[in-house]
Amino acid sequence: MNKSLYLVGLNHTTAGVEVRETFGLADCLPGRIIESESGAQSVQGEEQQIIPLGGPIDELAILSTCNRVEIAAVGEQDACRDAVLARWAAARNADVEELKPYVYIHEDLDAVRHLFRVACALDSMVLGEPQILGQLKDAYRMAVKAGTTKVILNRLYHKAFSVAKRVRTETAVGSAAVSISYAAVELAKRIFGEMSKQKAMLIGAGEMAELAAQHLVTSGIKDIYVANRTFERARELAAQFEGQAIPFETLFDRLHEVDIVISSTGSPSAVIRAKDVKAVLKKRRNRPMFFIDIAVPRDIDPDVNTLDSVFLYDIDDLKEVVEENIAQRREEAAKATAIVYDEADAFGQWLKSLELQPTIVELLERNQGIAHKELAKTEKRLAQILGRDVAPEMHEALEILVDSVVKKVLHEPIIFLKRRSAEEESARRYIDTTRRMFNLDDEDIPDDAHADRRRKDIRDDVDARENDLGATSNNGA
């Protein structure tokens, strides 16, 4: 009855990169406390740091990326939250007070909403980015493998994945390009449509080129050439994508072979000029070429854009695309947020019914137990009267009878509880009252329990009557 769901974490909005590095848990796994015969406690795994399950924590899962560290946990109210913070800090050899200033804590329905938002990339630095969902799935797989998830976290994560899928299907929050490299490839797709038959060349082999290569491969491009002043780096990048490295000085000898050119060198002056491209177009028989210049200073002379069959975009053109797409994603994010809240509310109802269900089961079992004890006493008396034991058929019929009576007597109270469990805030109060009425938690209640409350009630009743009498007397005067 006092279990809660917590999400304890920090992210790029609450902690700088140094703090995220200090408290990152990428090398940590959730684990179980193992107790030996001697009573000594240890945790699973020896080769990696472990955030242990046990004590006030019933369930646990850890997500750690470059932009966020979050621990989802189920356990004893308050104590679970404090234990998560303490074990997190201990795993990084830090004091919990050093960690607290950067941490947010969500409980129950707020925790559900937050996790759904993370799964849908509504809480990401780049709104709608797709990587976080895969990272969340990896975190869940690790927790399942470690055996640290049970009913609530299992259902929570599966629901988060389905909510993310629904958001991707019903909104366009992840469809518009919001990185320069991605936008460049998206522009190429608009011009060429089907990309599998196109060839691309990357000029430069830095991070931007690597990202562009990833997006090109994802879009279906199979032939990628990499030209870089440091040939070894060109070869490394080409190898990542099964491409071909070419010496920088032979760039123009091979340029006519490609349809898409993405340039991102650190050159202080233009690498490609109009006169160079004229000769290339002649070799291509004027088949269209798409140049994307994401370098600053620019690698491709703007005059290239004056040539027929050439499409040239620089980083400012792409920024406009990115900003338009970010604005579009924000509009879509409002629709996605509405879906998240609907789904979180539905999950909250399930959590409430989960609390109610054990109470209903215990209520039925407790009363059936009493009925069966009374039946056994009655059968003993019947045996004395009849001079023989009750026949098995008779015993079975009587058991069915008493079970049926118990169910019918409890039918209306159970229906009442189910109705109240659907109401905000009142479910736990009614369930608590029911558990106390039937003492389902086997509490040892002294005979004089609540005596003070009864005396106070009596005094209040006497005072109320005296006030009523005084009021009547005054009215009569």
Same domain, 13 and 54: yes
Looking at the domain assignment, is residue 424 inside a domain?
Answer: yes
Q: pLDDT grade, residue 45 (50/70/90)? A: very low
Same domain, 253 and 370: no
Residue 396 has pLDDT above 50, yes or no: yes
Range of the domain at 390: 343-438
Residue 99 has pLDDT above 60, yes or no: yes
Higher pLDDT: 360 or 180? It is: 360
Q: pLDDT grade, residue 48 (50/70/90)? A: low
Burial class of 207 by CB neighbour count within 10 A (0 to 12, 13 to 18, 19+): exposed
| Tens-digit pLDDT profile for residues 159-210 | 999 999 999 999 988 877 677 777 888 888 878 888 888 999 999 998 788 8
Q: Determine the pLDDT at residue 4.
A: 92
Residue 424 has pLDDT above 70, yes or no: no
- How far apart CA 442 and CA 468 sit, in angstroms, is 42
Same domain, 205 and 170: no
Looking at the domain assignment, is residue 205 inside a domain?
Answer: yes
Helix (H, G, I), strand (E, B) or coil at 95: coil
Q: Determine the pLDDT at residue 428.
A: 63
Residue 444 has pLDDT above 80, yes or no: no
Q: Determine the pLDDT at residue 28.
A: 84
Active site residue 28: no
434 labelled binding-site residue: no
Q: Determine the pLDDT at residue 337.
A: 96
CA 102 to chain centre: 19
Looking at the domain assignment, is residue 318 inside a domain?
Answer: no
Same domain, 95 and 166: yes
- How far apart CA 434 and CA 412 sit, in angstroms, is 13
Q: pLDDT grade, residue 458 (50/70/90)? A: very low
131 labelled binding-site residue: yes
Same domain, 370 and 299: no
Q: Determine the pLDDT at residue 38.
A: 54
DSSP string, 368-420: HHHHHHHHHHHHHHHHHHHTSPPPHHHHHHHHHHHHHHHHHHHHHHHHHHHHH
Same domain, 195 and 265: yes
User: Which residues lie below 8 Å from residue 104, measured CB to CB, with a gap of 6+?
Assistant: 8, 9, 10, 11, 14
- How far apart CA 386 and CA 215 sit, in angstroms, is 88
Decide which of 148, 176, 204 is a domain's last residue: 176
394 labelled binding-site residue: no
Looking at the domain assignment, is residue 444 inside a domain?
Answer: no
Looking at the domain assignment, is residue 326 inside a domain?
Answer: no
Q: pLDDT grade, residue 418 (50/70/90)? A: confident
Residue 254 has pLDDT above 90, yes or no: yes
Q: Is the dihedral of CA 121, 123, 129, 131 positive or negative?
A: negative
Which CATH number belongs to the domain containing residue 56 in this structure? 3.30.460.30
Q: pLDDT grade, residue 125 (50/70/90)? A: confident
Higher pLDDT: 275 or 211? It is: 275
Same domain, 185 and 273: yes
- How far apart CA 352 and CA 427 sit, in angstroms, is 7
Q: Determine the pLDDT at residue 266.
A: 85
Same domain, 411 and 361: yes
* Annotated active-site residue in 28, 66, 80, 120: 66
Looking at the domain assignment, is residue 449 inside a domain?
Answer: no
Residue 313 has pLDDT above 60, yes or no: yes
Residue 218 has pLDDT above 80, yes or no: yes
Q: Determine the pLDDT at residue 52.
A: 83
358 labelled binding-site residue: no
What burial letters (b/e) apply to 285-300, b meaning 16+ CB within 10 Å?
Answer: eeeebbbbbbbeebbb
Same domain, 19 and 68: yes
Looking at the domain assignment, is residue 147 inside a domain?
Answer: yes
- How far apart CA 390 and CA 388 sit, in angstroms, is 7
- How far apart CA 73 and CA 18 sit, in angstroms, is 25
Same domain, 353 and 285: no
Q: pLDDT grade, residue 466 (50/70/90)? A: very low
Q: Determine the pLDDT at residue 475.
A: 38
Same domain, 164 and 185: no
Higher pLDDT: 307 or 47? It is: 307
User: Considering the chain, what is the average pLDDT of its residues?
Assistant: 85
Which CATH number belongs to the domain containing residue 276 in this structure? 3.40.50.720
Q: pLDDT grade, residue 477 (50/70/90)? A: very low
Q: Determine the pLDDT at residue 131.
A: 80
280 and 308 Cβ atoms separated by less than 8 Å:
no
281 and 250 Cβ atoms separated by less than 8 Å:
no
Backbone torsions φ then ψ of 225, nearest 5 degrees:
-110, 145
Q: Determine the pLDDT at residue 438.
A: 86
Q: Determine the pLDDT at residue 353.
A: 65
- How far apart CA 385 and CA 368 sit, in angstroms, is 25
CA angle 387, 390, 394 (to 5 degrees): 145
Looking at the domain assignment, is residue 450 inside a domain?
Answer: no
Same domain, 158 and 202: no
343 and 163 Cβ atoms separated by less than 8 Å:
yes
Q: pLDDT grade, residue 470 (50/70/90)? A: very low
Q: Please report, rounded to a whole number, the percentage of residues in the chain having pLDDT higher than 70.
A: 86
Residue 377 has pLDDT above 90, yes or no: yes
Q: Determine the pLDDT at residue 257.
A: 95
77 labelled binding-site residue: no
Number of separate domains in the chain:
3
User: Which residues lie below 8 Å from residue 230, measured CB to CB, with a gap of 6+?
Assistant: 205
169 labelled binding-site residue: no
Residue 450 has pLDDT above 90, yes or no: no
129 labelled binding-site residue: yes
Q: Comparing C-alpha atoms, which of 162, 167, 175 is closest to residue 339?
A: 167
Give the mean model confidence (pLDDT) for residues 326-347.
Answer: 91
Q: Which helix (H) or strand (E) holds 239?
A: helix 231-240
| Tens-digit pLDDT profile for residues 240-249 | 989 999 999 9
Give the mean model confidence (pLDDT) for residues 281-295.
Answer: 90
First to last CA, the chain: 56
Q: pLDDT grade, residue 36 (50/70/90)? A: low
pTM: 0.60
